[in-house]
Amino acid sequence: MNEEINSNENNLYELAKEDNSTNMVIQNYNELLSKFENLIKTIIAKIDIGKQNSSSNTEDGIFKDLEKNIIELDNTFLALISYFKNPPSDEEK
């Protein structure tokens, strides 16, 4: 009977551990998605600013900013892909 109780406790522990890991994965995933969404919004806003201003100085600055944001967006996108192709181990979480 004691063995059965210990077995049930171990099963509950494993379920809690799995649930916690799932929550951590979801949290990290949500952080990446949030960053991705914010970068898209930033890029769209800068494009709108560029459309409204015809000054070449403004256009140069806008496109430099857009280039930086596109690079950051691409890195975030690659991080999302990498995250799902190679999920972090328990030690990395």
> What are the pLDDT digits (tens) for 11-66?
544 544 555 555 555 567 778 888 888 888 888 888 777 777 766 666 677 777 88
> pTM here?
0.46
Residue 12, pLDDT score: 46
Max CA distance (Å), the chain:
81
State the CB neighbour count (10 A cutoff) for residue 63. Answer: 13
Residue 26, pLDDT score: 57
